[in-house]
């Protein structure tokens, strides 16, 4: 981070905090269980996918209006 970024954080009273896996080692088994559910397909991720650059403006508007389900993605092929 540059000095100006630190200055901005200080003036904005922002907090920067990292995530260290070993700080949460007591939840390791829970994480492995959840990740295995994602891997075997028993836990599905909800998302709305729009295809192509032309759909990006409407996808953004839909996101702001709450029309999407889960994550809003725009795929560019």
pLDDT in tens, the chain (77 residues): 556 778 888 888 888 888 888 999 999 999 999 889 888 888 888 899 999 999 999 999 998 999 988 889 999 97
pLDDT score of 5? 78
The whole-angstrom separation of Cα 54 and Cα 46 is: 22
Q: What is the pTM of this model?
A: 0.47
Sign of CA dihedral 46, 50, 51, 56: negative
Query: How high is the pLDDT of residue 26?
Result: 95
pLDDT recorded at residue 73: 93
How crowded is residue 10: how many other Cβ atoms within 10 Å of its Cβ?
A: 9
Angle at 6 between CA 4 and CA 10, to 5 degrees: 115
């Amino acid at each position: 981070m540059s000095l100006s970024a630190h200055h901005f954080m200080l003036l904005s009273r922002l907090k920067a905090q990292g995530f260290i896996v070993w700080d949460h080692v007591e939840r390791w088994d829970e994480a492995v269980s959840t990740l295995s559910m994602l891997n075997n397909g028993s836990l599905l991720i909800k998302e709305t996918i729009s295809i192509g650059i032309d759909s990006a403006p409407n996808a953004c508007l839909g996101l702001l209006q709450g029309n999407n389900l889960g994550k809003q993605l725009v795929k560019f092929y």
